[in-house]
Every structure is written in C-alpha cells, then in structure tokens.
Amino acid sequence: MVSRQQTESGTTARTGVEAVTKQRGRPRSFDRETALEKAILAFWEHGYEATSVSDLTRVMGIGAPSLYAAFGDKRSLFDEVVRVYGTRYGSFGERALAEEPTARAAVERMLREAAAEYTAPGRPHGCLVIHAATNCTSPEVEEDLRERRNANIAAFESRMKAGIAAGELPAGTDAAALARHTGAIVQGMSQQARDGATREQLEALAALAMAVWPDSSANPARSRTEAG
Amino acid sequence: MVSRQQTESGTTARTGVEAVTKQRGRPRSFDRETALEKAILAFWEHGYEATSVSDLTRVMGIGAPSLYAAFGDKRSLFDEVVRVYGTRYGSFGERALAEEPTARAAVERMLREAAAEYTAPGRPHGCLVIHAATNCTSPEVEEDLRERRNANIAAFESRMKAGIAAGELPAGTDAAALARHTGAIVQGMSQQARDGATREQLEALAALAMAVWPDSSANPARSRTEAG
DNA sequence: GCATTTGCCTAGTGATCGCTACAGAAAAAA
DNA sequence: TTTTTTCTGTAGCGATCACTAGGCAAATGC
C-alpha cells in the first residue's frame, strides 16, 4: 500500500517473464515519467527549497493528491529526481572515468563534456547535485547531495591512484590534491555556467585547468589563436 | 523618518565637527553593530531564504519590530549584511590584487588566503557571496550576488591584462580564460570548504592550480613531501 | 447490471512565512 | 512635572508552506 504507489503500475514481473496485468482501479491520467522529467527540470533550476509543491503541481500538470500518490512527499520526489538526474544527465563523469584509458584522458573528456552539459540549451545550466540543495532548511537534503559531491571527488582520487599504480602518472603525484582540484574545476564550471558563462568560455577554462597535470606541455595559458 | 532609522543614531556631523547630539526618545536597548554581526553569521551559514526573520530575531537577540526599525525589511538587512561582509571578510581578494606587485603573486596570495578564510574556525565555511543566494525565490537577491561574482572575475581579468601590458605575463596569455579559471578555483574552494575540506587540503588544491600560469615550473602535481 | 479498486478534484488542515498595529516603557525637551 | 519622541513586546495580520480528508470519477472483476 505504501511502496506500491510510487512504482510504475500496470507491469509485474512473474516467473521471470514480464506479464502485463491490468490494473484494477481507475488508471492514472498522466504519464509518470514525463511528470518526473518536469520535476527534474524544476528542482534543477530552482533547487529543493525554492521549488514549492504548488510549483511542482503546476509544471507537472497534476494536482497535489496525484503527486503525493505517485511520488510520495516532496522529499522522496526529490530523492527520485536526484537519482534519475544522475543517470540521465549526470553520468558523463563516471562514463569518462570508466571508458577512457588514462586518468588524464578521463578528466580531460569529463571537463570538455561538462562545458557542454552545463550550458546545454533548453535545460537549466550547471549541475543539480552541486546547486539544488545549498542553503536548505532541512539538513538531510543538504547532506545527501554533499555526500554525492564528496563521493565524486573520492572517485576521482581512486581513478588517479589507479593511474599512478598503472604507471601512467608519476609515482609522486598527489592524487588527493589532483582530485580535489578536479572537483573544484567542475564545481567552479557549474557555478559559472549558472552565472552566464558560455560553453566556449568553460571549454577554455577547462583546457587551461588541464595544465596542472604532471605531463602537460609548457605555457598552457597562451591563447589558442596563438599557440594553436 | 525612513532612512533615519537605519543609521546609527546619536551622532550627527555638523559644520565639519562631529557633534554628539542626544537622541530625543527612548534609546535602543541593543548594540546595532553586534546585532548586525550576528545577522552576517546567520545569513552566511544558512543563506538568504533559509534564514527566517524569526531566526534573525533569535540570534540577534531582539524583537521583530526592533529589527525592522533598525535595519528595514529582510532584504535591506541582507543588502547591508553583504556590504559589511564584503569589507569585513571578503576583501582579501581585492587587497591581494591591489597590493601584490604581479598578477601571479596576487592570485597566489589570494588563493592561499582563501584557503585560510574559507575554513576559519568559529565562522561559517566558504564565501557568503558565492553561497548565500543560490536557489532564491526572489530573483533580485540572486542576481545581486551573481553580479558580484562576475565583477570579481572581471577584476581578475583586468588585473591580468595589466600584467600583460606590464610585460610580467607573455603577450599571448589568454587573460579572460585565466580569470575564469581563477574564479572557478575560488568558487570550487569555497564549495569544498562548505563540504568539509580542511585548510591544508584547500592549500594543496590552490598550489596545484597555480601551475596553469605561463611561467610556472614543471611537474606541479608532485607531492610536496617529495618535490619540496 | 453491481461491487471493488484506484485516481482525481475541491477544499481545507495547522504551521510558518515576512511584516506590522498598538500600547506601554524609557529617554530628552518643555 | 508634563509633553514629546522613540524604542520594545505582544499579538496578530494575510499569504504561503507541505500535506491530506472526503467525495466523485473511471477503470476492472463478478
């Protein structure tokens, strides 16, 4: 009765085969997935506290009781929003870390993609995880996203340590500092995307930031028109 | 009758000589400056929206009517808080830019001091201007601090351009990108200070970030225990 | 058809928001 | 002292907050 409401109704897995059983009562008059996407955009743009339930019902196109029946309370809706956001919009970092052959290539790709993602047209700028729960009345929400941010930095560090172990980075490389630096660049890029920076400006920033890597070439701060 | 209430009462400048004229009515029962400092700390820690007027009256130790009589409404109190914060806590950047002989030395000092300021004990961590007005219901407050952040980046850029003109930086240096990069580092440091980073961690991050400068030495990402 | 189940809509809950009217209290001016 | 001026405390304003009770609507099961 409780958890049932928050899952997509109409499908049940039975004996390994997905069987569609007709729901008994009145069917939902809205599409849960598109309503969730609207909620993602609203929370993304205005943050957890500044997005009221009446804001949500307006942009989702449903009444408050429908929202509570389908998603639980505001907090659990936000939790789902953060989870889906992570897989739908915030996974480029993990993907780069997992797919690129070196830590350096992974971070370079991540920063380049961040410049594009954080300024993508038709979406709120910047990163939801970085901005949606700052200055919250309820500390739990704030703490939840804080842990995600710190987990990201920890993931950077472990990837860099793997790079050191693999010999792709010098043995003396300070993985923790490099990871924190990468996190600061990502967070700073997200902030500046919110503050109106363009994709090109963020790309230049990111390219410059790559100069801190041990095997970088000299004179990175030269303009691209001169240095190529 | 309107602006009078918001200034410190009891002193009036007359014919160039500061004359203390006794106030006519009942004197204020609290010290306006210490109450303002409490408000600074409250807004600094929780941000504009998450700090309610009742929060303010509690930490300031005064009633709501006294607050409104002495500081105007919540918005104008926040404006004063931001202004005083800027001179009291947020001026280390300007000072470094103005006092250091080179742009590079100025940024290096600014980042080093930021690591200390953003983690100073007994105060909220991070920067009020960066964090206190994200996700606001009223866009004006958000825009006000956004303009301050962008003005800071513009100040970085003009200092770097001056450095190029003075010959202390290579002529091809991309001042705009370097300024945005510096802004990203500062904003990232502030975010990480809020997320629990220590002063030492931020100092390592800042030292690493200085490697993007044209005249930096090689292999900056090495640990200090090995390289220094 | 009828009963059951489930979702939607109206209308509201108590709590808190920013803010203020009003009366009493404390000072100087008369 | 009395009057005038200003501040303080109580008490409450309308608006909005997150949230929900209750009745109706729309589907299936019989």
Report whether B95 contacts B155 (CB < 8 A): no
Partner residue facing B177 (CB), from A184, A189, A204: A204
The yes or no reply on domain B91-227 and CATH 1.10.357.10 is yes
Residues 136-175, chain A: which have Cβ within 8 Å of B?
Answer: 136-137, 146, 149-150, 153, 169-170, 172-174
Q: Residue B12: beta bridge partners?
A: B19
Of B49, B129, B25, B115, the residue nearest B87 (C-alpha): B129
Homologous superfamily, domain A95-212: Tetracycline Repressor, domain 2 (1.10.357.10)
SS3 call for B61? coil
The yes or no reply on domain A31-88 and CATH 1.10.10.60 is yes
**Alpha-carbon span B168 to A65, nearest angstrom:** 65
Does A42 touch chain B if contact means CB atoms closer than 8 Å?
no
Each residue's pLDDT tens digit in chain A (228 positions)? 333 444 444 433 333 333 456 778 899 999 999 999 999 999 999 999 999 999 999 999 999 999 999 999 999 999 999 999 999 999 999 999 999 999 999 999 999 999 999 999 999 999 999 999 998 999 999 999 999 999 999 999 999 999 999 999 999 999 999 999 999 999 999 999 999 999 999 999 999 999 999 865 444 454 444 433
Give nearest nucleotide to B74 (CA–C1').
C18
Kindly list the distances between the CA atom of residue B29 and the CA atoms of A2, B57, B62, in Å, as whole numbers in the listed order.
54, 14, 9
Give nearest nucleotide to B64 (CA–C1').
C19
What is the domain partition of chain A in residue ranges? Answer: 31-88, 95-212
Q: Cβ of B224 and A174 within 8 Å?
A: yes
- Which stretches does DSSP call E strand in chain A? 11-14, 17-20
Whether B112 sits with its Cβ under 7 A from any strand C atom: the answer reads no
Q: Which residue is listed with tokens 């006092």?
A: B99
CA at A13, C1' at C5: how many angstroms apart?
21
**Alpha-carbon span A189 to A111, nearest angstrom:** 9
B28-88 has which CATH code? 1.10.10.60
Q: Which bases of chain C are contacted by protein, using any atom under 7 A from a CB?
A: 4-12, 16-22, 24-29
pLDDT tens string A68-89: 999 999 999 999 999 999 999 9
Each residue's pLDDT tens digit in chain B (228 positions)? 333 444 444 433 333 333 456 778 899 999 999 999 999 999 999 999 999 999 999 999 999 999 999 999 999 999 999 999 999 999 999 999 999 999 999 999 999 999 999 999 999 999 999 999 998 999 999 999 999 999 999 999 999 999 999 999 999 999 999 999 999 999 999 999 999 999 999 999 999 999 999 865 444 454 444 433
> Using H for helix, E for strand and C for coil, what is the string for A23-41?
CCCCCCCCCHHHHHHHHHH
Q: Which bases of chain D are contacted by protein, using any atom under 7 A from a CB?
A: 4-12, 16-22, 25-29
pLDDT tens string A137-177: 999 999 999 999 999 999 999 999 999 999 999 999 999 99
**Alpha-carbon span B14 to B2, nearest angstrom:** 21
Partner residue facing A174 (CB), from B49, B181, B221: B221
In chain B, DSSP finds a helix count (H) and a strand count (E) of 11, 2
CB burial readout A65-102, b (16+ within 10 A) else e: ebbbebbbebeebbebbbebbeeebbeebeebbeebee
